[in-house]
Structure 1
Amino acid sequence: MTLEAVETWIAENLPALIEKYDVPGAAVAVLADGKVIDAAAGVLSKTTGVEATADSVFQIGSITKVWTATLVMQLVEEGKLDLELPIRTYLPAFKIADESAAVKITTRQLLRHTAGFEGDIFTDTGVGDDCVEKYLDVLHEVPQLFPPDELFSYNNAGYTVLGRLVEVLREKPFDACLRDHLITPLGLTHVATSPYEAILHRAAVGHLQPEPDAPFEAAPIWALVRSNIPAGSMLAMRPRDLVAFAKMHMDGGVAADGTRVLEAATVAAMQEPQVKLPELGLMGTHWGLGWELFETPAGSGSFIIGHDGGTIGQSAFLRVLPEKGVAIVLLTNGGDVISIYREFFSHVLEALAGVGLPALPTPPADPQPFDATRFVGRYSAEVFDIDISQADDGRIWMDLTPSGIAEEMGEKPERKELVHYADDSLIPLEADRGMHMPHAFLGDDGEGHALYLHVGRAVRRAGS
Structure 2
Amino acid sequence: MSEYTLPEFVQAIATEFEIPGVSVGVWADGQESYASHGVTNIDHPLPVDQDTMFVLGSVTKPTTATAIMRLVADGRLELDAPVRRYVPEFTLPDERAAAEITVAQLLNHTAGLDWRLSADTGEGDDALAENVAKMAESELISEPGARASYSQLGFSLAGRIIEKATGLTYERAISELVFEPLGMSHSAFALNDVITQRFAVGHNAGENSALSVVRQWKDNRGNNPGGGLVSSVADQIRLARFHLDAGRTQGGTELLPAELVRQMQQPTVELKASTLGDAFGICWFLREVNGVATVGHGGSANGQFADLLIVPERNFAVVVMSNAGPDSGLAANQMVVKWALEHYLGVVEQAPEPLPYDAALATEVAGDYSNEIMIIALRTDGSGLTIECFIKPEVRAASDTEMAPDMPVADFGLLPDDEFIVTSGGLDGQRGAFTRDEGGAIIGLDLAGRFFGKESVTV
Choose 103-112 or 402-411, whichever is displaced more: 402-411
* CA-CA distance at 1:390 after TM superposition: 6.0
1:102 lines up with 2:98 in the alignment: yes
Q: d(CA) in 2 for partners of 1:240 and 1:399?
A: 35
1:132 aligned residue: 128
1:402 lines up with 2:426 in the alignment: no
* CA-CA distance at 1:67 after TM superposition: 0.8
Pairing of 1:147-296 with structure 2 (within 5 A): 147-211=143-207, 214-233=209-228, 235-281=229-275, 283-296=276-289
1:360 lines up with 2:351 in the alignment: yes
* CA-CA distance at 1:280 after TM superposition: 2.7
Q: Which amino acid aligns with 2:313?
A: E
What are the superposed Cα offsets for residues 163-204 of structure 1, whole Å, 9 maximum, x if unpaired?
000100011000001111111111222122211111111110
List alignment gaps of at least 5 residues for structure 1: none
Inter-CA distance 440–39: structure 2 relative to 1 (3 Å threshold): same
* CA-CA distance at 1:77 after TM superposition: 1.3
The question of whether the paired residues in 2 share the 8 Å contact of 1:39 and 1:54 is answered with yes
What are the superposed Cα offsets for residues 401-443 of structure 1, whole Å, 9 maximum, x if unpaired?
4233799443337655654322223445x51226043442113
What are the superposed Cα offsets for residues 100-136 of structure 1, whole Å, 9 maximum, x if unpaired?
2111111111110111121222421111111111111
The question of whether the paired residues in 1 share the 8 Å contact of 2:112 and 2:143 is answered with yes
TM-score normalised by the chain length of structure 1: 0.89
1:334 lines up with 2:316 in the alignment: no
The question of whether the paired residues in 1 share the 8 Å contact of 2:305 and 2:333 is answered with no
Say which SS state the counterpart of residue 369 (structure 2) adopts: strand
List alignment gaps of at least 5 residues for structure 2: none
> Identity of paired residues, percent?
30
Choose 163-172 or 410-419, whichever is displaced more: 410-419
2:446 aligned residue: 454
Pairing of 1:4-15 with structure 2 (within 5 A): 9-15=5-11
1:371 aligned residue: 361
Say which SS state the counterpart of residue 184 (structure 1) adopts: helix
* CA-CA distance at 1:374 after TM superposition: 5.0
2:21 aligned residue: 25
* CA-CA distance at 1:380 after TM superposition: 2.4
Say which SS state the counterpart of residue 154 (structure 1) adopts: coil
The question of whether the paired residues in 2 share the 8 Å contact of 1:374 and 1:448 is answered with no
The question of whether the paired residues in 2 share the 8 Å contact of 1:206 and 1:314 is answered with yes
**Larger relative strand fraction:** 2
The question of whether the paired residues in 2 share the 8 Å contact of 1:131 and 1:226 is answered with yes
The question of whether the paired residues in 2 share the 8 Å contact of 1:277 and 1:284 is answered with yes
Query: How well do the aligned residues superpose, as a CA RMSD in angstroms?
Result: 2.5
2:338 aligned residue: 346
Q: Given the alignment, which residue of 384, 387, 406 partners 1:412? A: 406
Choose 393-402 or 11-20, whichever is displaced more: 393-402
Q: Which amino acid aligns with 1:242?
A: Q
Q: d(CA) in 2 for partners of 1:375 and 1:214?
A: 31
Inter-CA distance 374–32: structure 2 relative to 1 (3 Å threshold): same
The runs of at least 4 consecutive aligned structure 1 residues that moved more than 6 Å come to none
The question of whether the paired residues in 2 share the 8 Å contact of 1:363 and 1:436 is answered with no
